[in-house]
Amino acid sequence: MRALIVEDHPVLAAQLKAAVADAGFVADCASGGEEALFLGETEAYDVVILDLGLPEVDGLSILTRWRATGRAMPVLILTARDGWSDKVAGLNAGADDYLTKPFNLPELIARLRALVRRAHGHAQPVITLGAVGIDTTTQQVTLAGAPVRLTALEYRLLAYLALRSGAVVSKTELTEHLYAQDFDRDSNTLEVIIARLRKKLGEGRIETLRGQGYRLSR
């Protein structure tokens, strides 16, 4: 899954990127409003961390424009402002959650995961699909109660299919949500990862719909 981090403070941006990577996300970073606008309008993100105090274009204006153009990804706003009116303005502009600086990174990660789950209609942190259990908090996967060892990329692909369980997910969509913007994206790699997951979870778990994509069986 992909996150966009919009933060102009380089140290905090680096800390956020490392934290979301440890949580199983790949992240792009934008330090200015214009770059953030462009990335949010052209790339597929599962969640956005958006600082309100930005150079060029402020975070509230960015969020308002994203929502006006139909961009519906969950957005968590960061603000150094303590006033309730700033929080209300952010929520009214389309934010899904907020944190006031300074904050604890574990809380931010927990909120991000909850936003992603709710965006796909999952209320619980563990997604259960037959004998397969996917714990989105610990990034642990089980098959009939036994742990399954997955690589980071295998987990991200499986977790995204699980969030979209029952739906057909195209190769293009998977590629957009698995790799950062600057990564050399190769859709052929997906076939290799899918094959490895089938060996670990069973051949019938992930269906291939020719010309359409993949679907994780419920």
For the structural domain made of 126-216, what CATH number should be given?
Answer: 1.10.10.10
* pLDDT at 179 exceeding the cut of 90: no
First to last CA, the chain: 20
2-119 CATH choice from 3.40.50.1100, 3.40.50.2300, 3.50.50.60, 3.30.70.330: 3.40.50.2300
Query: Is 195 or 218 the better-scoring residue by pLDDT?
Result: 195
pTM over 0.75: yes
When pLDDT is cut at 50, 70 and 90, the band that residue 182 belongs to is low
Tokens representing 119?
């965006």
Domain ranges of the chain: 2-119, 126-216
For 11, 34, 52, 104, 113, the CA distances from 152, given in Å and listed in that order, are 25, 31, 31, 24, 16
Does residue 86 contact residue 79 with C-beta atoms inside 8 Å? yes
In sign, the C-alpha dihedral spanning 115, 119, 124, 125 is: negative
Does residue 198 contact residue 215 with C-beta atoms inside 8 Å? no
Q: What is the pLDDT of residues 75-85, one digit of tens each?
A: 999 987 666 78
Query: Rounded to whole angstroms, how far apart are CA atoms 177 and 1?
Result: 5
When pLDDT is cut at 50, 70 and 90, the band that residue 183 belongs to is low
User: What pLDDT is stored for residue 178 in this prediction?
Assistant: 86
User: What pLDDT is stored for residue 185 in this prediction?
Assistant: 61
Does residue 163 contact residue 218 with C-beta atoms inside 8 Å? no
Q: What is the mean pLDDT of the chain?
A: 91
User: How many CB atoms lie under 10 A from the CB of residue 12?
Assistant: 15
* pLDDT at 218 exceeding the cut of 90: no
Query: Is 186 or 80 the better-scoring residue by pLDDT?
Result: 80
Q: What is the pLDDT of residues 13-58, one digit of tens each?
A: 999 999 999 999 999 999 999 999 999 999 999 999 999 989 889 9
User: How many CB atoms lie under 10 A from the CB of residue 98?
Assistant: 19
User: What pLDDT is stored for residue 105 in this prediction?
Assistant: 96
Q: What is the pLDDT of residues 96-140, one digit of tens each?
A: 999 998 899 999 999 999 999 999 999 899 999 999 999 999 999
Tell me the Cα Rg of the chain: 18
